[in-house]
Amino acid sequence: MATFARYNVWLCDWTGQKIAMLFPGRDFRRMAWQLRLNDVGAYRLELVAETSTKDLFVEHYGVMIERDVGQGMYEEYYGFHLDSEEWLEGEEVTEHYWASLGASPEWLLTLPLLMPNSRAARKSETQTAPLPEDYAAYVYRDEDGRLRLTPEFFTRYLIRHYETLTYESVWWYYGPADDAIKTMVEETLGETAGTARMLSPELFRVEGKAGQATPITVESERAYLLDAIQASIGPRGERGGCDFRVTHEDGFVFRTFTPYFGRDRRLGYSSQPLILGLAYGNIQAPRLKVMRREAVSTVYGAWQGGGAEQELYSLTDMEGMSRTPFSRRDLY
């Protein structure tokens, strides 16, 4: 017979230390949370607003969910408090509620930009416009007898100096994918990011490199760190052969998982099983929603270069495209 899990919900300070129990609690209403692979999860926590509990929440404080299925409490979820919502319900008797809305620790990766690195050179060039045939008309001698050019000359004969940023205009790396994204994070949030950008080592660190994933080449222009990581290894880790998470453990740690990250929650296979069903009373009013309007049938990609020299490749879901006369939808 299935065993129902016990839960604790805590409010934590910026370091992740517990400061107040929210559940069990007299003003706790409900909570929902979401875990996303290689992306930012979310949560929503609702409280009765008539008590002072909501006043304990400070921007970027944490909400921690602990779970016990008979093996002792373990951390199931951690999220940063980012936003809040307050509202009234009822007509004759007004009910006052408050909600904390936040994101999982991967949210930290959305804060900084990945900046170009110094693993290649910068190229400088000077470009000049053609010399006017009547340039002599723009030459004169000043009162000291020195040759000068009139201001009008520079409107016709321009000297433009500019820098062409080649590899240095991108963040560049070649090596195992797990090491590549760890280097991204280290150079953007870690100790090698510089004092203006790095998070405190007591609050954030990067797991040591292991070099276990698929070798990749990364050339990323200025982009938010999370976007650059996802583009490098693929949304499901399929390009790099690895996944990543920011875990909460004595601060926050950026970790990679090779080949992939996962938890087996099947009954009989895990000490932390998860069983959902109407028969167990832990699902109410189930609803199934099928959404096809954003379904893509053909994906186009492009290699480096431009114009006629740029190579294109495509992948098509023939079965999906044949469902109806209007099923084709392209994505570039």
The token duo for 117 is 């690195």
- Give dist(CA 15, CA 199) in Å, integer: 12
Instruction: List, in order, residues 6 or more apart from 319 with CB less than 8 Å away.
Output: none
HEC sequence for 96-134: EEEEEEEECHHHHHHCCEECCCCCCCCEEEEEECCCCCC
Per-residue pLDDT of 26-65, as tens digits, reads 999 999 999 999 999 999 999 999 999 999 999 999 999 9
pLDDT in tens, 85-127: 999 988 777 889 999 999 999 999 999 999 887 654 444 455 5
Q: Is the predicted pLDDT of residue 140 greater than 50, yes or no?
A: yes
Residue 168 has pLDDT above 80, yes or no: no
pLDDT for position 162: 46
Q: What is the pTM of this model?
A: 0.69
Minimum mean pLDDT range among 144-153, 262-271, 285-294:
144-153
138 vs 121 pLDDT, higher one: 138
Residues 82, 99: Cα–Cα separation, whole Å: 11
| CA pair distance 121, 163, nearest whole angstrom | 11
pLDDT at 153 over 80: no
Determine the average pLDDT of the residues in 245-251: 93
Q: Residue 265 pLDDT > 80, yes or no?
A: no
Q: What angle do CA 133, 136, 139 make, to 5 degrees?
A: 140
Q: What is the rounded distance in angstroms from the CA atom of residue 93 to the CA atom of residue 70?
A: 41
CB atoms within 10 A of CB 99: 18
Stronger pLDDT, 171 or 142, i.e. the higher one: 171
Return mean pLDDT, the chain. 85
User: What token pair was written down for 285?
Assistant: 């009013």
Please report, for the chain, the start and end positions of each structural domain, with discontinuous segments joined by +. Answer: 6-103, 113-118+168-257, 123-164, 288-331
The per-residue pLDDT for 156 is: 55
Taking the CA atoms of the chain, what radius of gyration do you get in angstroms?
29
**The predicted structure's pLDDT at residue 155:** 56
Q: Which residue did the predictor score with more confidence, 163 or 316?
A: 316
Q: What is the mean pLDDT of residues 281-301?
A: 87
CATH topology of domain 6-103: Thrombin, subunit H (2.40.10)
